Amino acid sequence: MPLRAIVNNEGILAPFLDDEAWQLLKTRVKNEHLDVRLPCCGNVAYLRTSKHGVKHFVHKERDTCTSAPETWQHLKAKHEIVLACKAAGYDTITEVSGEGWRADVLAVKGKVKIAFEIQWSSQTWEETQERQQKYKEAGIRGCWLFKRPPVQYRANNEVPLFKLEITEDAAIVIFNPYSYEYESYDRRINLSEFVTALLHGKIKFCDHLTSLPRQTVRMIFVETRCWKCFKLFHVYYVKDLVTGCGDELEANCFDPQFVAIAISLRSDERYSHIETGDIKERYSKTAGEKYMSFGCPQCDAIVGDFFLFHEIFPEARYSEDKAPAIWEKEITLRHLVSSPDAHWCFPEGGQFCGK
Give the domain extent around 79.
70-202
**Is 355 a domain residue?**
no
Among 68, 96, 112, give the residue marking a domain's end.
Answer: 68
Shared domain for 49 and 134, answered yes or no, is no
Residues 122 and 177 in one domain: yes
The yes-or-no verdict on residue 202 having pLDDT over 80 is: yes
Is residue 234 within 8 A of residue 273, CB to CB? The reply is no
Q: In whole angstroms, give the CA distance from residue 298 to residue 76.
A: 70
pLDDT of residue 67: 66
Q: Give the pLDDT confidence score for residue 46 in this predicted structure.
A: 75
Is there a single domain that holds both residue 261 and residue 272? yes
User: Looking at residue 252, what is its pLDDT?
Assistant: 96
Check whether residue 166 and residue 220 sit in a common domain. Answer: no
Q: Is residue 350 part of a domain?
A: no
Domain match, 99 and 135 both: yes
Q: Which of 20-29, 58-67, 315-324 is the least confident region?
A: 58-67
C-alpha span between 72 and 261 (Å, rounded): 59
Residues 177 and 76 in one domain: yes
**Could you say which of 150, 174, 202 is where a domain stops?**
202
Average pLDDT over residues 228-243: 97
Residue 193 included in any domain: yes
Q: How many domains does the chain have?
A: 3
Say whether pLDDT at 223 is over 90: yes
CATH number at residue 161: 3.40.1350
In the predicted model, what is the mean pLDDT of residues 168-173?
90
Same domain, 58 and 74: no
Q: How far apart are CA 324 and CA 123, in angstroms?
A: 55
93-146 pLDDT tens trace? 888 889 989 999 999 999 999 999 999 999 999 999 999 999 999 999 999 999
Which residues have a Cβ under 8 Å from the Cβ of 32 and sit 6 or more positions away?
none
